[in-house]
């Protein structure tokens, strides 16, 4: 992966952001023919991988012996354009993963989702509540420390973009899908954007003030709906 990432960064003239996660869906592991380990083991394996990948991308000769990986005197070529390495995004929702992200990532991604039993049960959406986002951002702040935290970029994965003049009605309708949440909790969540373009712009500004989130990932079906928001924020 380190070699592939370095090559992509070189071919794109330094535009790569390397997103990493521990994996949360059993079906994806099954499809790849891999065993689905408990969450702690998956995060531990990711932590080892991040150490190795960062060292290789820096141009170091890496020797590493862990529970999951062993590397002896390994280097890669070519090296990436971005130094010391392309920005690394680590995303998830659980405290162990966010602790790793706070220590090692350049971009901390918040998903708000906990997949129970590897995704064979409905996801736990309690992390979407504003109070839960408060707790997770505070965890990252404490683990990272003041100096490192000031350098981090915070990211949120938006699950739905709904353009409407009646945001209350739209939020009420979404409770049929997300029954764990009230309409008010859905409207406050950084993982959903509902309303007019002006309302979405205002929500994004408020969320940046409250949580410091400045980077959003939007799923492809909602790109056209979100485009006017981007244009408005860019002053166009």
What's the chain's Rg over C-alpha atoms? 19
Tens-digit pLDDT profile for residues 131-159: 999 999 999 999 999 999 999 999 999 99
Q: DSSP state, 128?
A: G
Tens-digit pLDDT profile for residues 150-203: 999 999 999 999 999 999 999 999 999 999 999 999 999 999 999 999 999 999
Task: Work out whether the CA dihedral 70, 74, 77, 82 comes out positive or negative.
Answer: positive
All structural domains of the chain: 1-86 (no CATH), 87-236 (3.20.20.30)
Q: What angle do CA 19, 23, 27 make, to 5 degrees?
A: 130
| Angstrom distance (rounded) from CA 171 to CA 185 | 9
| Angstrom distance (rounded) from CA 132 to CA 191 | 12
Asked whether the predicted pLDDT for residue 212 surpasses 70, the reply is yes
Tens-digit pLDDT profile for residues 84-126: 999 999 999 999 999 999 999 999 999 998 887 777 778 889 9
Looking at residue 236, its pLDDT comes to 59
Asked whether the predicted pLDDT for residue 219 surpasses 90, the reply is yes
Looking at residue 8, its pLDDT comes to 98
Tens-digit pLDDT profile for residues 41-81: 999 999 999 999 999 999 999 999 999 999 999 999 999 99
Give the residue among 94, 13, 111, 104 at the shortest CA–CA distance from 53: 104
**Model confidence, pTM:** 0.93
Looking at residue 34, its pLDDT comes to 87
Looking at residue 97, its pLDDT comes to 95
Range with lowest mean pLDDT among 9-18, 25-34, 142-151, 203-212:
25-34
| Angstrom distance (rounded) from CA 62 to CA 33 | 28
Alpha helices in 81-166 (DSSP H): 95-104, 130-144, 146-149
What tokens were used for 165?
């003049």
What tokens were used for 140?
């990252």
What is the SS3 assignment for 82? coil
């Amino acid at each position: 992966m380190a070699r592939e990432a370095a090559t992509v960064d070189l071919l794109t003239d330094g535009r790569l952001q390397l997103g990493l996660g521990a994996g949360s869906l059993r079906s994806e592991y099954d499809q790849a023919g891999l065993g689905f380990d408990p969450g702690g083991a998956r995060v531990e394996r990711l932590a080892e991988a991040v150490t190795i990948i960062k060292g290789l991308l820096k141009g170091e000769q890496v020797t590493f012996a862990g529970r999951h990986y062993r590397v002896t005197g390994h280097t890669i070529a070519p090296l990436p354009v971005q130094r010391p390495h392309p920005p690394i995004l680590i995303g998830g929702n659980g405290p162990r993963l966010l602790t790793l992200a706070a220590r090692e990532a350049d971009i901390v991604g918040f998903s708000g989702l906990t997949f129970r039993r590897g995704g064979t049960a409905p996801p736990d959406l309690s992390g979407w509540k504003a109070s839960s986002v408060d707790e997770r951002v505070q965890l990252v702040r404490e683990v990272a420390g003041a100096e490192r935290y000031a350098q981090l970029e915070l990211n949120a994965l938006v699950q739905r973009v709904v353009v409407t003049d009646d945001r209350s009605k739209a939020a009420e309708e979404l409770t049929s899908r997300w029954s764990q949440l009230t309409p008010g909790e859905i409207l406050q969540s950084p993982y959903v954007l509902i309303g007019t373009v002006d309302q979405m712009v205002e929500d994004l500004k408020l969320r940046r003030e409250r949580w410091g989130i400045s980077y959003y990932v939007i799923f492809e079906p909602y790109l056209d709906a979100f485009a006017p928001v981007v244009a408005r924020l860019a002053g166009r």
